Chains A and B, each alone.
Chain A
Amino acid sequence: MQPVKKLRTLAQCSIKTFMAAIFILVSMMPPGLANEASDRRVQISLPLFPRIVAVDKKFQEKLTEDNKARLVFVYDRDKSKANELAKTVGSTNKNIVNVRVDTVPVPLVEQLRANSQTPTAIFVAEPLGEADFKELVLYSINKGIIVFSPYSGDVERGATVGLAITSRVFPYFNNSTLEASGVEINPILLDMSKRYE
């Protein structure tokens, strides 16, 4: 009986050691690997976002009262990043199709409030949780506006448009959300884009 117990103890020790090693390896992995890809996608998205807003056929109907295109960068926690993205887009795109652009970072909770101001389009500045994202998609559908999310998988989750990256970068549209929100995109661009049915 004794040797069996010893073997078992050894096996348990080995498993524990292995699990510990895996944990150490995972914790030592550069956290930026995933973030880096996301950041790149965000960077690529920034020039594309105003262009997608520009091909919205009802773009003119979604301007603010002072005839500005209000591009909202929603965030949950990272206000500075949203702020930075808003500034970047705002500085490189003063106007869209001759309409002045106003880029603002807005907390998601605030944007979803009933009395909040309806934007022309929304850019998802940081990855959102499932419930929040779902609520945001419903909000965009209700308001008939574009939600642009550069993060992988968000188009499948319901974002109006995102990125499809192969040997080239394509706009990636969610047909269902487009249909539900009534957003109409210029067919020339739509033909050259990737679509999620």
Chain B
Amino acid sequence: MNKFFNQITNKVTVFLVGIMVFVMAAISTHWVYIMVPVIKSGEQTKADLLVTPYTRLIEQSVNNDNIDQVEEILNHVLLLKDSKLNQPMVVNIKVSLITGKVIERANQINSRYEPFVAETPIFDSLTSALLGKIHLEYNSELYHHLINDAEQRLYVALIAVIILILVVQWKISLLLKPLNILAHYLESVDLNKAAAVPHPKKKMAMEITQVWQAVNQLFSRLQLRDEQLKLEHDAAQNALKQKLEAESANKAKSQFLANMSHELRTPLNAIIGYSEMLKEEVVNNSHPNLTSDLNKIYTAGKNLLALINDVLDLSKIEAGKMQLYLEDVKVNLLVDEVVSIIKPLANKNNNKIVLDFDEGIGTIRVDIMKLRQSLLNLLSNAVKFTTGGKVALQVYREFINDEEWIRFVVKDSGIGLSETQVENLFNAFSQADMSTTRRYGGTGLGLTISQKFCRLMGGEITVESELGKGSVFTISLPVHIKEPMETKPDMESGMLPLDSTKLGRMSKPDRREIRRERRRKTSTVLIVDDDPMACELQQRHLSKQSYDVLCAESGEEGIRQINELVPDVILLDVMLSDMSGWQVLTYVKSQPHLVHIPVVMLTMINEKSTAYSLGATAYLSKPIDREELTSTVNKCVRKAGQETILVIDDDADARKLARLILENDGYSVIEAENGYLGLMRVAERIPSVILLDLLMPNMNGQEFLNELELNERWQGIPVIALTAMELDEIERQRLEKRVSMVIQKGAYSIDQVLNAVREISGKKQQQETQNVNFTDDNSRDG
């Protein structure tokens, strides 16, 4: 049905038929209900009008009793004819008198139709008495003639319209025929061999001709496009082939770099490790003449390691595999740290370091390792190429196009650079000139890597320099760079996630180290490495750090010892002789009784992502830096044996400060905003100590203490109360019944809090140990 109506011919036909039906219905209705009654009424009127004048004549004749005259009048009436049809107007006329006499005259007409009748009474003109009536039958042939005539015209009109519709339909189909031919051609045409559409023999309408031409143009364009596509396809095939070749070459290069780094780092590991050990031995055995030689070996090893690391970094950047690990970094602390590292080098060349930045400059969200490396690179270059001069570091914030940026400007009064040198400055392996390389050393990769790091973080390094007068290098970074991926701890250096607020404190040995040492005193470290030399080096180093260190020289041996010893930390080489380190790691993380052991992966190749995905705690690249190793193992041990402190305070800043202090001292911290939430935290995990603010909404400190007392398991948890209120004697006494210590808020120092926590947690541990001993003694006694 739809198909039928979709054809133009049928659409037009249906439209015309519709119009025709509507018009015919309207005409028929008009005819039946208006015209026919009007004509009929007209004919009846004629009959009435005809009878009226003769009535008076007949009435007079009857009054005079002149019947002959009546008959004469009737004959006269019968003679009247219609001018159109030339037929008698009156069929019959009859005068019926009340006396019973009837005078009638009729025309002999064979009419099929009923006549129109007109009747009128006859009165006596003197007495008004009713004398009779006149009955006249008017010929209806004319009426029917008119009706038939009109109906015939209507039929003719109808037939004419039907013929018109058929003609229109035929004409439209004739006009559209070329389109049908075109459609059939397009359906059957082979597009690969499509040529111009054959022109029909008959002349086409202009619009159809336009369609015809458009289709021919389309074919031409299709042919052109096919040719173009073929060319593009060939080009794409070539590009794909080249890409595959390039990828293959790149893969080969990456594999080569990985192998080379492994092969280079293995001997370097021994060189750096042993030279460092020998240095200590030489100092202890008073052979100062050898110290200088050993330093050269150590330094050369370190430099070579730096070069390998740079090459690997560059390789990763170029392969697009360098990842960002973003965190909020306090800029002032980062600058302090970087300057403290660079200061000895500056002093060596009698350079003065000038700092220009606001201590409250705030934070920046960056990959701290990469920013630190870039800053160190610029500053080390500045102090290296300046002698007896000034190196300035300026840091400031500024808005560019509504975006906040931080600029690190390193300005020196050194040898400076020519324009040509500036142009090639950021090209890999390119230094100012060969003489520079010979005189100042370096690989020429540092600036390239720094620039790529900065670009990776959405920023840039720019340089302005004048030969002989000095250089100005500027690192510009957006304060909030977009997250490239989920932020993960950067374990490149083997460090756990570094809280920037702790920068600057890391290298300061203090009483906290002593405490950490006490905690790790009995910790066991298992090294699984098939390289006996590497094993021995790490064993000797960690033993000096008071760890109980054991070695396993194969994967199988390692698994056996892990099961027997359940060590506190595992140092696991990836490339073992009998199995891969990943297999050992997978095994450890699949065993419920071993899963908690921190595993530090030691590897030549960069497979950090694999390590973390399999559950490694940390990741160190060989050759192992001893400081990194110590730091990593310390952190792992601390993490494994951490004490938990619950800080309950409605002041978020106060909670944060407490967290920083305590975490820096090796504690694990959990927080709660009020007493109610504090109870929930205690229910989740019983803390070693609770730091409790007394004045809080929802549930204050005193209410919290009351709730704590109700639970037997919680009664022994030490609580340190912090309050800003001036407590009276009664309140103090009430608190002292439950809390271990009350510290006046606002007046306490970091050390005061730390000492309190250490003292209270220490007491608790001591008490627990005594309880165990007491139980043991009792059991022996028993």
Partner of B130, one of A98, A167, A168, A186: A186
Cβ of A54 under 8 Å from chain B: yes
Task: Known contacts A167-B49, A188-B132, A192-B133; decide if A54 and B119 are in contact (CB<8 Å).
Answer: no
Q: In the complex the two chains form, is B127's CB within 8 Å of A95's CB? A: yes
Cβ of A53 under 8 Å from chain B: yes
Cβ of A166 under 8 Å from chain B: yes
- In residues 75-133 of chain B, which contact A (Cβ within 8 Å)? 98, 118-121, 123, 126-130, 132-133
Q: In the complex the two chains form, is B121's CB within 8 Å of A188's CB? A: yes
B38-77: contact bitstring with A at CB < 8 Å (1 yes, 0 no)?
0000001100110110000000000000000000000000
- In residues 40-83 of chain A, which contact B (Cβ within 8 Å)? 50-51, 53-55
Contacts of B118 in A (CB 8 A): 168
Contacts of A97 in B (CB 8 A): 127-129
Q: In the complex the two chains form, is B133's CB within 8 Å of A53's CB? A: no
A100-126: contact bitstring with B at CB < 8 Å (1 yes, 0 no)?
000000000000000000000000000
- Cα A53 to Cα B129 in complex, Å, equals 9
- In residues 3-51 of chain A, which contact B (Cβ within 8 Å)? 50-51
Task: Known contacts A168-B48, A192-B133; decide if A50 and B128 are in contact (CB<8 Å).
Answer: yes
Task: Known contacts A166-B48, A168-B52, A189-B121; decide if A96 and B127 are in contact (CB<8 Å).
Answer: yes
Please name the residue on chain B nearest to A101 by beta carbon. Answer: B128
Cβ of A93 under 8 Å from chain B: yes
Main secondary structure, interface of B, reads mixed
Q: In the complex the two chains form, is A168's CB within 8 Å of B133's CB? A: no
Contacts of A51 in B (CB 8 A): 121, 123, 128, 130
Contacts of A167 in B (CB 8 A): 44-45, 48-49
Partner of A189, one of B44, B48, B126, B130: B130
Q: In the complex the two chains form, is A54's CB within 8 Å of B133's CB? A: no
Please name the residue on chain B nearest to A49 by beta carbon. Answer: B128
Task: Known contacts A192-B119, A192-B133; decide if A54 and B127 are in contact (CB<8 Å).
Answer: yes
Contacts of B98 in A (CB 8 A): 188
B311-355: contact bitstring with A at CB < 8 Å (1 yes, 0 no)?
000000000000000000000000000000000000000000000
Q: In the complex the two chains form, is B44's CB within 8 Å of A54's CB? A: no
- Cα A93 to Cα B123 in complex, Å, equals 13
Partner of B51, one of A54, A166, A168: A168
- Which of B44, B48, B127, B133 is packed against the most chain A CB atoms within 10 Å? B127
Contacts of A189 in B (CB 8 A): 121, 130
- In residues 119-177 of chain B, which contact A (Cβ within 8 Å)? 119-121, 123, 126-130, 132-133
Task: Known contacts A167-B45, A167-B49, A168-B51; decide if A192 and B128 are in contact (CB<8 Å).
Answer: no
A92 to chain B, nearest CB (A): 10
Q: In the complex the two chains form, is A55's CB within 8 Å of B130's CB? A: yes
Contacts of B119 in A (CB 8 A): 191-192
- In residues 26-46 of chain B, which contact A (Cβ within 8 Å)? 44-45
A103 to chain B, nearest CB (A): 13
Q: In the complex the two chains form, is B120's CB within 8 Å of A192's CB? A: yes
Contacts of A54 in B (CB 8 A): 123, 127-130
Please name the residue on chain A nearest to B46 by beta carbon. Answer: A167
Contacts of B128 in A (CB 8 A): 50-51, 53-54, 93, 96-97
- In residues 170-195 of chain A, which contact B (Cβ within 8 Å)? 186, 188-189, 191-192
Please name the residue on chain B nearest to A185 by beta carbon. Answer: B130
- Cα A97 to Cα B126 in complex, Å, equals 8
B120 to chain A, nearest CB (A): 6
- Cα A186 to Cα B132 in complex, Å, equals 11
- Cα A127 to Cα B90 in complex, Å, equals 41
A70 to chain B, nearest CB (A): 15
- Cα A95 to Cα B121 in complex, Å, equals 20
- Cα A53 to Cα B123 in complex, Å, equals 12
B457 to chain A, nearest CB (A): 67
Q: In the complex the two chains form, is A192's CB within 8 Å of B48's CB? A: no
- Cα A180 to Cα B14 in complex, Å, equals 63
- Cα A97 to Cα B128 in complex, Å, equals 7
A120 to chain B, nearest CB (A): 12
- Which of A51, A55, A168 is packed against the most chain B CB atoms within 10 Å? A168
Contacts of A93 in B (CB 8 A): 128
A114 to chain B, nearest CB (A): 31
Q: In the complex the two chains form, is A168's CB within 8 Å of B120's CB? A: yes
- In residues 145-186 of chain A, which contact B (Cβ within 8 Å)? 166-168, 186
- Cα A159 to Cα B129 in complex, Å, equals 22
Please name the residue on chain A nearest to B132 by beta carbon. Answer: A188
- Cα A168 to Cα B50 in complex, Å, equals 10
B77 to chain A, nearest CB (A): 16
- Cα A191 to Cα B121 in complex, Å, equals 10
Please name the residue on chain A nearest to B55 by beta carbon. Answer: A168
- Cα A166 to Cα B98 in complex, Å, equals 26
Please name the residue on chain A nearest to B135 by beta carbon. Answer: A192
Please name the residue on chain B nearest to A171 by beta carbon. Answer: B121
Contacts of B127 in A (CB 8 A): 54, 95-98
Please name the residue on chain B nearest to A166 by beta carbon. Answer: B48
Partner of B121, one of A50, A98, A166, A192: A192
Contacts of A192 in B (CB 8 A): 119-121, 133
- Cα A51 to Cα B520 in complex, Å, equals 149
Contacts of B51 in A (CB 8 A): 168
Contacts of B45 in A (CB 8 A): 166-167
B775 to chain A, nearest CB (A): 101
- Cα A6 to Cα B132 in complex, Å, equals 75
- Cα A97 to Cα B49 in complex, Å, equals 29
Contacts of B120 in A (CB 8 A): 168, 192
- In residues 121-137 of chain A, which contact B (Cβ within 8 Å)? none
Q: In the complex the two chains form, is A188's CB within 8 Å of B130's CB? A: yes
Contacts of B44 in A (CB 8 A): 167
List residues of B whose CB falls within 8 A of some A CB: 44-45, 48-49, 51-52, 98, 118-121, 123, 126-130, 132-133
List residues of A whose CB falls within 8 A of some B CB: 50-51, 53-55, 93, 95-98, 166-168, 186, 188-189, 191-192
User: What are 14 residue pairs bridging A and B, where the CB atoms are less than 8 Å apart in the complex?
Assistant: A51-B128, A54-B123, A55-B130, A96-B127, A97-B127, A98-B127, A167-B44, A167-B48, A168-B49, A168-B51, A168-B120, A188-B98, A188-B130, A192-B133
The 5 closest A-B pairs by CB, nearest first: A167-B48, A167-B45, A50-B128, A168-B48, A54-B128
Supply 15 further A-B pairs (C-beta < 8 A) apart from A53-B128, A97-B128, A167-B48.
A50-B128, A51-B123, A54-B129, A93-B128, A96-B129, A167-B44, A167-B49, A168-B48, A186-B130, A188-B121, A188-B132, A188-B133, A189-B130, A192-B121, A192-B133
